[in-house]
Structure 1
Amino acid sequence: MKRVPIYRDEFHLAKIKNYKQMNLLIIGQSVVDRISYKGSEELKPGGIFYSTIALRYLAEQDDEIFLCTSMCRKDEYLFKDIYKMVNTKYVQFVDDIPTVKLTVYDDKERDETYSNITQNLILPMNELNKFDGIFINMVTGFDINLKQMEEVRKEFNGLIYIDVHTFSRGVSDDMRRNFRRIPGFDKWAKNIDILQVNEEEIQTISDEKNEIDIVREMFSYGIKILIVTKADHGARAYFIEGNEINSVFISAVKVKVLNKVGCGDVFGAVFFYNYIRKTDIIDSLMAANLAAGVSTTYSLITEFKVFKKDVLQRFS
């Protein structure tokens, strides 16, 4: 495993020697979130939005972020201030995008109920190798299908990062999204370099129950890094060093939490960017953990304008 020196005071998010401009592709559905928390309800942009905003404000200005998502005219106003900051060549307009009612709790996993689920996204298969990395967030679980995943791997030689997200949840008759065993996940795993799950989601990708046994199985399919986010406790990254499975754990930062929605999406985008830039697992995990913590202190989308500064300075 290639590793560069770790400067913990800076997390060298923008201090990379021999800087090279990058082209990055992020894939995932845009959704409208109806967030219900402690009796109040709020309408916000969601889905791939949080990965997009984190990546755009974190990345160097010369880096070009390409977004592959769906959008509808009536909800475009929620997203346009951020999406206009990235390349929208691969944005597809549809009649409606999903609306998700998120009931958020302090002490357990949130409830999700969908009012609409869109079809698989159309991917730019013939242009994939112009990108330095591909980040896929399975926002609805139907963002791409297995055939598309296999074709992406066949056509693309670079790093593929996938956040399992709502792929871990089935769809009931009343459109509730409950955790289920993902059918045939071994076929997906054979096409992934870095996999992100939380403690609930990891139980949906294998018949094994013990975390390390699941990790061992995933590595047998070819996954290089498996990240398990652990809510208020932090995050652990598993990787192979030599012939052995190794891991590193980073505790969550202590912050006053105002909003948990999008925290995992921010984490994934920051790890993805930092790892492609430096191929350092520990440093990328530290940066992602800090960034996720910072994002929970924002109650307004506009606060992300100082996101990079906050990640670099708030906990120095």
Structure 2
Amino acid sequence: MFLLPGDVSFGGNIADKVSSSEAVSAMKISVVGTINNDTIVSLEGVKTESLGGIIYNTVALAVLCPDDTIIPVAYYGTDCADGLMSLLTRFLNIDPSGLVEWKNGCNQNLLRYVSGDSREEILEIRVPSIDSDMLKTCSSSDFVLVNFISGFDMELDTLKNLREIFKGTIYMDVHSLTLGIDGEGARFERIVEGWTEWAVCADIIQMNRKEARLFAGVSTSVENVSRMICSEGPKVCLITLGKDGVLITRSTSEGSIQTRIEGVSVDVKDTTGCGDVFSAAYICACNRGCDPIESARQANLTAARSCECVGLESLKEAIH
């Protein structure tokens, strides 16, 4: 657990209530997105099959925040129901009430590494986008994490509706919102049209450097693009930089303030779910009273550790 003191100044949500003298406990955290069946193929050709998508966020949050209730909100395929429920019932603090079974099956995602930090992705989409009715379960939460696992997890109007009805903190991981999909399921990079409408819905927004430039449709420095994004509404923009660490941009009354945290050296085996662990660890640290910089520092370290394992099964041991 991350119990470091700090000062969080977001505004209009739970972050306002957390200070160096006050830690929040017994919170509800909703995780909204897509559940995948992942097949990960390493450079050496070793194949690992695992549940993926927001299950990485959910398990990481359950491990890191044992006193809080974690509520995944997603469709899950009948084909993965037994394995999914077997996994979730290992954690007493995961509430599956936000999950909806889908007879056509889970999304199938093939991730084939072509270098140490680069991979090809082929996705077969089987589940529909989340609608506003499914988001009603978020109304009693303190924190909502929206993770665009497929990039088609929810429509913009649905996200806007969530922002209207939910007064807590919304953390958005841009992730695959910057990826299109062709007729064969292969993913390709795309610029996000109307990106400011997406950004304004988030209090905290996360992306890597490539996603940042695609999201805002610019080729400028990560420092400039993160300032652009914060100017559209988010109080904190987190750009993960892999081995180079994390860039944190905070929007304040005096303007934007930027801090860079150095990377952590680890023996990287698989980066799948690394960003998901980062967001989980950040939220956990934030909820326990850490400021954005300390939250990002803790998240960076925990995410780095997660790269030392392959697949979901070994994640708990890697980050605990």
Structure 2 distance, partners of 1:270, 1:234, is 15
Number of aligned positions between the proteins: 298
Say whether residues 1:259 and 2:265 are aligned partners: no
Q: Deviations over 1:212-236 (max 9, x none)?
A: 3322321221111111111222111
Tell me what 2:14 maps to: none
Indicate conservation of the 8 Å contact 2:146/2:173, yes or no.
yes
Q: Deviations over 1:214-263 (max 9, x none)?
A: 22321221111111111222111111244222122222222222222111
Say whether residues 1:212 and 2:208 are aligned partners: no
Amino acid at match of 2:69: E
Amino acid at match of 2:59: I
Say whether residues 1:193 and 2:203 are aligned partners: yes
Change (3 A) 1:19 1:201: closer
> Displacement, 1:118?
2.1
1:220-239 equivalences under 5 Å are 220-239=231-250
Worse-superposed segment, 109-118 or 218-227: 109-118
- Identity of counterpart residues, as a percentage? 24
Aligned residue among 49, 56, 68 for 2:55: 49
Worse-superposed segment, 101-110 or 227-236: 101-110
Worse-superposed segment, 176-185 or 70-79: 70-79
Amino acid at match of 1:112: E
Indicate conservation of the 8 Å contact 2:236/2:250, yes or no.
yes
Indicate conservation of the 8 Å contact 2:23/2:288, yes or no.
no
Change (3 A) 1:300 1:29: closer
Matched position secondary structure for 1:118: coil
Aligned residue among 85, 89, 94 for 2:97: 89
Structure 1 distance, partners of 2:319, 2:184, is 40
> Displacement, 1:279?
5.0
Aligned residue among 186, 192, 195 for 1:182: 192
TM-score, normalised relative to structure 2: 0.86
Amino acid at match of 1:93: E
Tell me what 1:152 maps to: 162
TM-score, normalised relative to structure 1: 0.87
> Displacement, 1:204?
1.2
> Displacement, 1:276?
3.1
Tell me what 2:171 maps to: 161
Structure 1 distance, partners of 2:23, 2:255, is 32
Q: Deviations over 1:78-115 (max 9, x none)?
A: 43333223111110111211111111243443211112
Task: Tell me how large the CA RMSD over aligned residues is.
Answer: 2.2
Worse-superposed segment, 268-277 or 62-71: 268-277
Matched position secondary structure for 1:170: strand
Amino acid at match of 1:250: I
Structure 2 distance, partners of 1:98, 1:52, is 17
The one of the two structures with greater contact order (alpha-carbon pairs below 8 A, sep at least 6) is 2
Aligned residue among 75, 98, 106 for 1:70: 75
Amino acid at match of 2:262: S
Structure 1 distance, partners of 2:40, 2:317, is 24
Structure 2 distance, partners of 1:115, 1:127, is 27
1:13-28 equivalences under 5 Å are 18-28=23-33
Structure 2 distance, partners of 1:308, 1:36, is 22
Indicate conservation of the 8 Å contact 2:59/2:316, yes or no.
no
Q: Deviations over 1:153-190 (max 9, x none)?
A: 00011110011111110111221111110111111111
Tell me what 2:35 maps to: 30
Tell me what 2:119 maps to: 110
